[in-house]
Chains A and B, each alone.
Chain A
Amino acid sequence: MNCEEVRNDLASRPEHSGDPVSHRDEHLQTCRECRVFEGELDAVLEALQDLGREELSQAALDALSARVQTRLSQERPAHGNRFLHWAAVLGSAAVLAGSMLLLYTPGPSVPAREAHEKSASNSSHETSSIPTDAISARIPAGPKGPAVRPVKRHRHRRSPLQNRVRHAVIHTPDPEDEARPIRLAAMVTVDQIEGRGMIYQLVDR
């Protein structure tokens, strides 16, 4: 055994005590430097064990406890609320998904919409598809064709709201004379024409 092997063997002694070490002992008897190393290593190992026996001061331990307890008093409990937390997160996600679904749901196809419009104009002028009591809607056909133009197929490239807002003339009964309707120019949504939306903006009267 050379010096390096002996020092490795000495340093790994705590790992396998009781192993036969005759070669190492033979080397130690002849090598003074390795004997010095062995003495220093033993002193270090003893000092390390002594370090482990060293008592921490009570003040340091109490300070740690106080710090942890102070922080814990600011923390939410790690239990109990976890279910509520996740329920709230999932609920919010469901509401968000529902809103997005409503916003992105395509209206009826163009023929269906035209048929709907036709039936609306064929009926008495105030038969309404809008589910409010007082308001009825009719989309006038302009010179360029129906006011409700076909929605483009590449709708995802434009804002869904942009596609779904239309100018419309709304006929609503006059509160003073119900037989005489009032015409209102307004912005309505396609959804409203389909009977499930809201008026977005009243343009003028």
Chain B
Amino acid sequence: MEPLPLAVHADLTALDPPGRNDAAHVDASDGELVLQAREGNRDAFALLLERHRRLVLGLCLRILGNLPDAQDAAQETFLRLFRSLNRLDTTRPCRPWLCRVAINVCRDLHGRRPTLVVDLEDATDRAETGRTPHEAMLLTQKRELLSRALMELPFRERAAVVLRDVEGLETEEVAEILGSSVGTIRTQACRGRQKLTALVGRLIGRQT
């Protein structure tokens, strides 16, 4: 079959329903979505939000230790993203930028509010696969214990451990996000792990 002349093809494309244009965003890169959002496309921004909300909320939750504060910090992070649309480098992915902003927001919030560790049950999905109730309870206890121990680390060590060991980012990426050298991040993560091990041991001793 002969290809349509270019003009006819363009006309057919123009007749696409709006929903189809929106669906095309799903495959778009972060930079493309930012460009579309800059032009006032709210769907593009909603897609950016949906794409990164799990990472940002999870990061805030590990750093702040409770869901209400984490929701506040994540919301502020996305609002800053919206306000910074014109300044963002569209050639780079949003993830490091979002992590950096989320860490900064958490640091501000951490300084203003007392650390409050509450039950993380509301924040996480308990309907996980194939565990007996006993196993699920043990897992929950372990996670809460670890979250409690994380809260006792100094902020920078906590951020380094969360980004490196929980989120699984590379040391170089963590260094870029936290604005430190790779050597500093290694030291902070190493110190944080040692403290965390001692803290978990102490907390287990306190519980038993």
Contact = CB atoms under 8 A, between A and B. Distances in A.
B57 A40 contact: no
Q: What's the dominant secondary structure at chain B's contact region?
A: helix
B104 interface: no
B74 interface: yes
Contacts of B165: 14, 45, 48-49, 52
B40 interface: yes
Interface in A33-69: 37, 40-41, 43-45, 47-52, 54-61, 63-65, 67-69
B26 interface: no
Contact of A15 (B86, B143, B190): B190
Interface string B113-124: 000000000111
A177 B188 CA distance: 97
A49 B168 contact: yes
Nearest to A51: B166
A187 B189 CA distance: 79
Interface stretch (B8-16, B43-51, B92-100): B43-51
A71 interface: yes
A65 B46 CA distance: 8
A49 B57 contact: no
A15 B172 CA distance: 11
A12 B124 contact: no
A61 B49 CA distance: 10
Contacts of A51: 62, 143, 146-147, 166
B128 A44 contact: no
B194 A56 contact: no
12 contacts: A8-B190, A11-B191, A15-B171, A48-B161, A50-B139, A57-B122, A57-B126, A65-B46, A65-B53, A68-B75, A78-B86, A79-B85
Interface of B: 38-40, 42, 45-46, 49-50, 53-54, 57-58, 61-62, 67, 71, 74-75, 78-79, 82-86, 122-126, 128, 139, 142-143, 146-147, 161, 164-168, 171, 186, 189-191, 193-194, 196-197, 200-201
Interface of A: 7-8, 11-12, 14-15, 37, 40-41, 43-45, 47-52, 54-61, 63-65, 67-69, 71-72, 75, 77-80, 82
